[in-house]
Amino acid sequence: MNNINKQKLSSLKEITPLTFNCGVALCPAIFKTDQNTYIVIGSVVDSETIEKLLPNRVGKGEIAIEIPQELLPSDVENISL
């Protein structure tokens, strides 16, 4: 397991492509944090799918989400806060 939640986040930068910015809380979104991690908003993958396709990959306190491919910017690694 990694140390992602060990430090408190103090800032986020939304890096969602403009085509996904809908102005309401029901759209997929991606944010880069000041901890060099990402927060992604998408649809929760159901437990049956997780058991079938991701066995032993989703740990306690984790969820699997699905997002459209177009949500990830091609230069996601080069975006700074």
pLDDT for 81 beyond 70? no
- Note the pLDDT tens digit of each residue in 8-65: 888 999 888 877 767 676 788 889 999 989 999 999 999 999 999 999 999 999 999 9
Q: Residue 18: which of 73, 77, 62, 78 has the closest Cα?
A: 73
**Other CB atoms closer than 10 Å to residue 22's CB: what's the count?**
11
Contact criterion met (CB below 8 Å) for 50 and 58:
yes
Of 17 and 67, the one with more pLDDT: 67
Q: Report if pTM > 0.75.
A: no
Q: Where are the domains of the chain?
A: 11-73
